[in-house]
Amino acid sequence: MGKKVRASKDSAVFSAVAYVVLALISVACILPFLLVVSASFTDEETIARFGYSILPRKFSLEAYGFIFKFPETIFRAYGITIVNTVCGTLAGLFLIAMTGFVLQRPDCRYRNKISFFIYFTTLFQGGLISWFILMTRYYHLQDHRLVLILPGLMNPFLIILMKNFIKASVPHEIIEAAVIDGANDFRIFTDIVLSLAKPGLATIGLFLALAYWNDWFTSSLFISTPAKYSLQFYLYNMLNNTQAMRQMAQTGAAIGVEAPTESVRMAMAVVCTGPILFLYPWVQKYFVKGLTIGAVKG
């Protein structure tokens, strides 16, 4: 009896401590983001003078005005990023799941060799220059929209994760049973594996989607037509460009446009993170499960 009371008292103490700690951690996570949002609405001169504050000291929409100066270009960049993310994630998921499925089949003869070959590329890579040469001189993808999608489709780490995930969640016996029932390999893949591996697909889909959404480097390297920039690169480059213009001597004419760099930086963070935040609640329930399964069995 007494033991039980003590136990519940212990757990009450534990709960209290846990709540406090978790609340502190949440505040630590939310505060910086709040600062970012608030700074994005603050007047540039106020930031320079007084620094950042939780509530805007002097409210201003100047930063957003600067970003959306040419609305059609930024919405086009949004469109390109969304197309990249949706197409890349769906196509990538399909290809990665298919590869993972094949590689975990015990009746695939060279599965270990192929797995090792894929794994090997995570350790030793050709490097930037050879990649650039391959993309531009052999695939002729310079300034081509596909260059933003193709390189990210297959990722060795995700393939290995998927392979282990399917191995753990789809028992080989089910596949054998399906074979006896007359299903061919593709049918087995689409009807059985894809539905049993949903948590894994959600996890890897999220990884892929984030990678496509956040990608600015491929745009930076290969795209030279501004109309084809992805959102992240469009914004990042906008900032770099204003900084470069500041450092550069303007010969012959004074433009006299001073971009609000501090608040613009923050407004960009808001513009970039906003939409992708909506993705989390959707896939969160699969996300936790999927990540641990893949990790433990890995």
Partner 1 sequence: MKRTLLTLVALCLAAAISFAGGTTQSQTAKRTTATGLDISQPVELQFWMLGDAPKDLPAIEAEVNKLAMADLNCTVKYNYTTWTDWSQKYQLLLTSGQPIDLIFTAEWTDYQRYAKAGAYKDITALMPVAAPVLNKFVDKSGWDGVKVGGKIYTVPAMYKEYVYDGFEYREDLRKKYKLPEINSLATMEQYLETVLKNEPGMVGIAETLAANQFSAVMSLTAEMLHPWLDRGMPQYGLAADNAKPREMFPYWGSAEHLADLQLFKRWADKGFWSRSILSSTEDIATMFQTGKLALKMAGINPNKFATDLVAIKATHPEWEIGYYPFSRTTGVVHPVHPTHNGYAVPAASKNPERALAFFEKMVTDKRYNLLTQYGIEGKNYVADNGYYKMVGDSNTNGFGRESMNGWAWRNPEYMLFAPSYDAVKKLFAEFDKVATPDLYNGFAVDYLPFQTEKTALDSVTAQYLAPLQAGLVPDVEAGMAKFMAEAKKAGLEKIQAEYNKQWLAYCDDMGIK
Q: Is 128 in the site for partner 1 (CB under 8 A)?
A: yes
Site string for partner 1, 132-171 (x = CB under 8 A): xx--xx----xxxxx--x----------------------
Q: What is the footprint of partner 1 within residues 91-110 (CB under 8 A)?
A: 91, 94
- Which range in 14-22, 53-61, 171-179, 221-229 contacts partner 1 by CB under 8 A? 221-229
Instruction: Give 10-78 as a DSSP string.
Output: HHHHHHHHHHHHHHHHHHHHHHHHHHHHHHHTB-HHHHHHH---SS-SSB--HHHHHHTSSHHHHHHHH
Least distance from C-beta 163 to partner 1, angstroms?
20
Least distance from C-beta 75 to partner 1, angstroms?
15
Least distance from C-beta 74 to partner 1, angstroms?
12
Identify whether the C-beta of residue 208 lies closer than 8 Å to the C-beta of residue 89: yes
Q: How many Å apart are CA 85 and CA 215, to the nearest integer? A: 10
In angstroms, the Cα distances linking 209 to 133, 148, 196, 283 are: 26, 13, 21, 11
Token duo for residue 212:
């496509």
Q: How many Å apart are CA 253 and CA 224, to the nearest integer? A: 26
Q: Which of 194, 208, 268, 291 binds partner 1 (CB under 8 A)?
A: 194
Instruction: Kindly list the residues in this chain that would bind partner 1 in the complex (CB under 8 A).
Output: 44-45, 48-49, 69-70, 73, 83, 86-87, 90-91, 94, 128-129, 132-133, 136-137, 142-146, 149, 190-191, 194, 216, 220-221, 224-226, 233, 236-237, 240-241, 243-244, 246-247, 249-258, 261-262
